[in-house]
Amino acid sequence: MARKRLRRFLQQQPDAEIVAECADGREAVAAIKQFAPNLLFLDIQMPEMDGFEVLHEIGSEAMPVVIFVTAYDEFALKAFEANAIDYLLKTFDYERFAKAYRRAVAYLQAKAPQQSALSSLAAYLVDQPNTASSRLVVKCDGRVLFLKIGEIDWLEAMGNYVVLHVGKERHLSRGPFHEWEQRLPTNRFLRIHRSTIVNLDALKEVRPAFQGESVVLLKDGTRLEASRTGSQKLLELCKT
């Protein structure tokens, strides 16, 4: 019923062409790869793969602008963290659909002139051996962020995404956590938990906890948990 409603509303838009309609997540991935659409209306709870798994499978480079469609408003925050341009709560009416659609079209029109230049700039910087050791290039919601490695306090795995904590700012990036571990210099960053990497320069104190685990305090007051393996790494670091 939601797909029928979307189809009816989209057919009323003179600048819209429906290139595909899919019944589950795997079909959606295949259609996105085949048609490379500009705009994707994506349900969150679907058979085979949910909406967030679809995003992860496609990757940031090939991802169209996304409007999430969901029956549960608790997914709204996560939808925006996944860089969706908007979300529609079932059962949405035409007015709410039109508002989301206009927002997506405006974003596409503003983004188009600068997209190729941003991609070229990011690709150039990533390939430079001298800059890779001092800063990171992070693509986020159509933007290219240039972060000095020393400014990153810690990194947190969140599902298919990685949250970079930079002072009071948080930046969300798509991709496996282990890839970030490989990108960061091992003499400055340490993985203290399966979902946590910390900048050693941001450490203030390590307190023993239960069963070989530890509580790690950062200079800004943040408290992190270190697993037994992470605690052992910290202990070895103190011995050197």
- pLDDT tens string 200-230: 999 998 888 888 888 999 999 999 999 999 8
Residue 220 lies in a domain: yes
CB 222 within 8 A of CB 153: yes
Residue 169 lies in a domain: yes
DSSP code at position 46: -
Domain count, the chain: 2
**DSSP characters over 116-161:** HHHHHHHHHHHH-HHHHTTEEEEEETTEEEEEEGGG--EEEEETTE
Are 42 and 94 contained in the same domain?
A: yes
For the domain that residue 137 is a member of, what is the CATH number? 2.40.50.1020
Are 162 and 93 contained in the same domain?
A: no
Sign of the C-alpha dihedral computed for residues 99, 171, 65 and 142 taken in this order: positive
CB 64 within 8 A of CB 36: yes
Are 192 and 221 contained in the same domain?
A: yes
Cβ atoms within 10 Å of 106's Cβ, excluding its own: 11
Strand partners, 65: 39
For the domain that residue 66 is a member of, what is the CATH number? 3.40.50.2300
> 79 or 57, which is more confident?
57
Residue 121 lies in a domain: no
Average pLDDT, the chain: 80
Are 74 and 51 contained in the same domain?
A: yes
Are 161 and 87 contained in the same domain?
A: no
Per-residue model confidence (pLDDT) at position 45: 80
pLDDT, average across residues 82-90: 74
Within its chain, how far is the Cα of 163 from the centroid?
8
Distance CA 117, CA 125 (A): 12
Are 15 and 98 contained in the same domain?
A: yes
Single residue among 92, 115, 138 that ends a domain in this structure: 115
Residue 91 lies in a domain: yes
CB 165 within 8 A of CB 138: no
Are 105 and 135 contained in the same domain?
A: no
DSSP SS3 for 86: strand
pLDDT band of residue 47 (cuts 50, 70, 90) is: confident
Are 155 and 101 contained in the same domain?
A: no
CA distance from start to end of the chain: 63
The 10s digit of each residue's pLDDT in 144-187 is: 677 888 889 999 988 777 888 998 888 877 778 888 888 888 88
Are 98 and 176 contained in the same domain?
A: no
Residue 153 lies in a domain: yes
Are 58 and 96 contained in the same domain?
A: yes
Parent domain of 142 = 129-239
Are 135 and 218 contained in the same domain?
A: yes
pLDDT band of residue 129 (cuts 50, 70, 90) is: very low
Single residue among 71, 87, 115 that ends a domain in this structure: 115
Single residue among 115, 138, 159 that ends a domain in this structure: 115
Are 66 and 105 contained in the same domain?
A: yes
CB crowding 168-199: b at 16 or more within 10 Å, else e: eeebbbbbebeebbeebeeeebbbbbebbbbb
Q: Please check the confidence at residue 109 and state whether its pLDDT lies above 80.
A: no
Residue 20 lies in a domain: yes
Residue 123 lies in a domain: no
Residue 95 CA neighbour count, 13 Å, CB half? 0
Cβ atoms within 10 Å of 65's Cβ, excluding its own: 19
Distance CA 37, CA 60 (A): 14
Residue 124 lies in a domain: no
pLDDT, average across residues 93-112: 83
